[in-house]
Chains A and B, each alone.
Chain A
């Protein structure tokens, strides 16, 4: 009796809901519909045998996406994907041996149409040390192609599948140990367009998150090895978009203009973390959550599981830098999960008055990268001025030091000593460098007051960064010191010891 009533109630509720949606949404937009309509899944994804000549798929490196297919019939599509094991930069001065599909992390973007017959070739470069295979989440069949593509170095495999389900799918290597192959960068995205295609937008970009596990600490220089224990503990050293800290910042930032619509194909390769994907200062107009057929509207942050994807679309109204982050926010600021989209165009004060997009988050890195990269370039060309060091140092100070010593260098009374007009800081340049590199604990007297707290070693900073930060601090807030050079820092780093566990 009870059960009957509730069933009836829910039936009525569904009826009511569907009636409501029917009234408010245009009925010819299947994606906007409620759960009442569906696309038929794999059972409706076979549009018969491939027509026309076989087509070689256009593959693109991130952040580029192959152009829309604009095709009205199923075709035979040939995909050739080459596995390369390559040493590449994971962060400035830090390299890592990535295992890649197509030479990049994430791997080449593949774009096909629902109902296409895909002849897939996996080539394993002769220089590879490892056998590899590929599991495409867009494949219907056991293993997703993995067992058909197990390929030794210097060999190639082939298999064919029909893409029955539309959507945005992850692909990845599934060779033992699977976690290690994925952690080394072996993942990418394959887009299976619905038969009618996707609505045109001004820009399409390809962004994929991954977590990385190195023996050395975050930003510890040199070639870093994979750390199996950290991977098992799910404790990544880096969390990155597109496989490198610098992949999508500075000159490599994604570009768009105000008034334009941007569509991001966002994947998460993992191997471990789930991403809370967010663009600072934007709201996604639409998110095809989980890479599926339906979209949600007006979304701030969307969850992207490991081995999953999402399509996010938004129109840019206000110029500026928009920062893509994993909003599990320590990953963004301490592990590298940060990318940038630059929007050019006229200001629109009616929508947004100020220049800052998100002061809290921008502080660390984003807004200041120009000064930093200018300083790097100037130093490389041997024309670095003290002013450039100060600008770059200010940016880096904001991210690293201001939490304790405060943005105005005043410190916190009784807890963190001041840097502004600080006798301790200004008395001895070498000691200042040592303090930044090696940390300081125990009682010190600054401007007549005693402080007794611990400053951790900041040895993860590069010599350039330490020089710039100190030049800034020793030339600001009433301090009038000389510039600190990179060479001075290098010398101190080489001749002093850091506490165990600190980055070298």
Chain B
């Protein structure tokens, strides 16, 4: 896949052909599964049932997103309405339809909003992964499906936070694959999920399960079950800080699809 991207770049042709189809070969089938989320679906209930789904092996790259933007010019940074992306949208690209030096083709695309990520996946006949799907896929270590209790695995994830983000992002697909053959779920970029605005975490994390019940109808703010799983909690904190048109230099995405 990456080889193809390079060859096409050398040839200087349109990259439209490189984007993987909705059910492309560069995705992996997971589930159906029952698993325990750090976000209990309801009070007293921890198990989440997941239908079978397909998930991209790697985050979407600059090259792939460029092809999308060329095909769907309304998602160019000079045409997109503010409602759908803030002013930093694709601002590291050299031009509205050119990558340039600070956005290498094989790097994960970042500075994309939820709307843009969603539209990209839909253009492939796919969709963004849901939080539970993402969490399930990302719970895997290199050799086991659920590495969440492994202190070494947790520390590897935490080490990412120790690396300052001033350095350029690596290309996708450099890290070794996890149990399912998925790459870069940790340690490269944050990723949008379809239901990012379903994570009803209070803005003040210490309020969990606390007094502010009126603010959130239903069961109140989510309380997190697995409080020492900091690596995942930080991701939830991150996602809950976002609005749909936000973009940041460390935030990318990958697509998912119902398994047929």
The reply, when asked whether chain A contacts chain B directly with Cβ atoms under 8 A, is yes
Q: Which residues of A contact B (CB under 8 A)?
A: 85-87, 96-97, 126-131, 133, 135, 142-143, 146-148, 150-155, 174-178, 180, 215, 223-229, 232
- B250 lies within 8 A of A177 (CB): no
Does B19 sit within 8 A of A, measured CB to CB?
no
Contact B204 A143 (CB under 8 A): yes
Q: A133-B203, A174-B204, A177-B234 are in contact. Are A86 and B164 (CB under 8 A)?
A: yes
Query: Is B29 in the interface zone, CB < 8 Å from A?
Result: no
* Beyond A178-B205, A180-B161, A225-B161, 14 additional pairs, beta carbon < 8 A: A131-B237, A131-B241, A143-B203, A143-B204, A147-B202, A147-B207, A150-B240, A150-B241, A174-B205, A175-B241, A176-B201, A177-B237, A223-B162, A223-B163
B52 in the interface (beta carbon within 8 A) = no
Whether A227 touches B155, Cβ cut-off 8 Å, given contacts A131-B237, A153-B250, A175-B237, is yes
As a 0/1 sequence over residues 38 to 70 of chain B, the CB contacts with chain A under 8 angstroms (1 = contact) are 000000000000000000000000000000000
Interface contacts (Cβ under 8 Å), in number, total: 114
B205 adjacent to A175 (CB under 8 Å)? yes
- Residues of chain B within 8 A (CB-CB) of A142 are 204, 212
Tell me, rounded to whole Å, the shortest Cβ–Cβ distance linking B230 to chain A: 5
Which of A128, A135, A175, A176 has the most C-beta atoms of chain B within 10 angstroms of its own C-beta? A176
A101 vs chain B, min Cβ distance (A): 16
Q: Which of B165, B234, B246 contacts A176 (CB 8 A)?
A: B234
Q: With both chains docked as a complex, state the minimum distance between the C-beta of A226 and any C-beta of chain B, in angstroms.
A: 6
Find out whether the CB atom of B206 lies under 8 angstroms from the CB atom of A146.
Answer: yes
B233 touches A146 (CB 8 A): no
- In the assembled complex, which residues on chain A have CB atoms less than 8 Å from the CB atom of B159? 215, 225
* Interchain CB contact under 8 A, B162 and A126: no
Contact across chains for B247 and A154 when beta carbons are under 8 A apart: yes
Interface assignment of B26: CB less than 8 Å from any CB of chain A: no
Nearest chain A residue, comparing its CB with the CB of B236: A176
- Residues on the B chain within 8 Å of A175, using CB: 205, 237, 241
Alpha-carbon distance A87/B159, docked complex (angstroms) = 13
Contact partner, A154, options B204, B240, B248, Cβ 8 Å = B248
B250 touching A228, Cβ below 8 Å = no
Q: Is B249 located at the chain interface by the 8 A CB criterion?
A: yes
User: Which of the residues B165, B202, B247 comes within 8 Å of A85, measured between beta carbons?
Assistant: B165
Interface residues of B in 156-187 (CB under 8 A from A): 158-159, 161-166
B228/A232 in contact, CB under 8 A: yes
Count chain B CB atoms within 10 A of each CB in A153, A178, A227 and give the residue with the most: A153
Residues of A within 8 A of B205 (CB): 174-178
B250 touching A129, Cβ below 8 Å? yes
Indicate if B124 sits at the interface (CB-CB under 8 A): no
Q: Kindly identify which residue among A97, A128, A147, A229 contacts B162, using a CB–CB cutoff of 8 Å.
A: A97
Interface contact A177-B203, CB-CB below 8 Å? no
Instruction: Tell me the smallest distance from the CB of B211 to a CB of chain A, in Å.
Output: 8
Question: Is there contact, CB below 8 Å, between A177 and B207?
Answer: no
- Kindly state the separation between the CA atoms of A48 and B72 in the bound complex, as whole angstroms: 56
Q: Which residues of A contact B246 (CB under 8 A)?
A: 152, 154-155
Least CB distance from B81 to A in Å reads: 18
Decide if B166 touches A176 in the complex (CB within 8 Å): no
The interface on chain B, measured as residues whose beta carbon lies within 8 A of the other chain's beta carbons, has a size of: 39
Q: Which residues from A are CB-within-8-Å of B202?
A: 147
B247 closest partner in A (C-beta):
A154
Closest A residue by C-beta to B250: A129
Output the nearest chain B residue to A179 by Cβ-Cβ distance.
B230
Within 8 A of A (CB), among B212-253: 212, 224, 228, 230, 233-234, 236-238, 240-243, 246-250
Closest CB pairs A-B (n = 6): A131-B241, A176-B205, A147-B203, A225-B162, A150-B203, A146-B204
Q: Please, which residues of chain A bring their CB within 8 A of the CB of B243? A: 152
The listed residue (A143, A146, A147, A180) touching B230 by CB distance below 8 A is A180
Residues B203 and A176 in contact, CB atoms below 8 Å apart: no
Report the Cα distance A143→B203, complex, angstroms. 9
- CB of B20 closer than 8 Å to a CB of A: no
B-chain residues with CB within 8 Å of residue A126 when the two chains form the complex: 88, 248-249
Contact A215 B155 (CB under 8 A): yes
Q: Which of B161, B163, B233 has the most CB of A within 10 A?
A: B161
Given that A178-B205, A228-B158 are contacting pairs, would A97 and B164 also be in contact in the complex, using a CB cutoff of 8 Å? yes
A220 shortest CB reach to chain B, Å: 14
Nearest-neighbour CB distance to chain B for A224, whole angstroms, equals 7
Name the CB-closest residue of B to A126.
B249
**In the complex the two chains form, what is the Cα distance from A87 to B167 in whole Å?**
11
Contact partner of B161 (CB less than 8 A), chosen from A86, A97, A127, A147, is: A97
Shortest distance between the CB of B166 and any CB in chain A (Å): 6
Q: Is the CB of A226 within 8 A of B162?
A: yes
Q: Is B12 interfacial (CB-CB < 8 Å)?
A: no
Q: Are A228 and B204 neighbours in the complex by a CB distance under 8 Å?
A: no
Q: Which residues of A contact B203 (CB under 8 A)?
A: 133, 143, 146-148, 150
A225 touches B204 (CB 8 A): no
A498 to B31: give the CA distance in the assembly, Å: 47
- Cα of A174 to Cα of B201 in the assembled complex, Å: 13
Q: How far is the CA of A224 from the CA of B247 in the complex (A)?
A: 29
Whether A178 contacts B166 by the Cβ 8 Å rule is no
Pairwise interchain contact A127-B166, C-beta atoms closer than 8 A: yes
CB distance from B204 to the nearest CB of A (A): 4
A224 to B159 alpha-carbon distance, docked (Å): 9
Most buried by B among A85, A146, A154, A224: A154
For A127, the chain B residues whose CB sits under 8 A away are: 164-166, 249
- Chain B residues with CB under 8 Å of A227's CB are 155
For the complex, what is the distance from the CA of A150 to the CA of B237, rounded to whole Å? 10
Write the nearest CB–CB distance from B229 to chain A, whole angstroms.
10
> Chain B nearest CB: distance from A137 CB in Å?
13
When chains A and B are docked, how far (Å) is the Cα of A152 from the Cα of B237? 10
The answer to whether A129 and B161 have CB atoms under 8 Å apart is yes
Kindly supply a per-residue 1/0 record for chain B positions 73-104, scoring 1 wherever the CB is within 8 Å of any chain A CB and 0 otherwise.
Answer: 00000000000001010000000000000000
Q: Which of B165, B204, B250 has the most CB of A within 10 A?
A: B204
| A229 pairs with B204, CB closer than 8 A | no
Given A152-B241, A226-B158: A129 and B204 interface contact (C-beta under 8 Å): no
The answer on a CB contact under 8 Å between B88 and A150 is no
B148 at the A interface (CB under 8 A): no
List, in ascending order, chain B residues with CB within 8 A of A151's CB.
Answer: 241
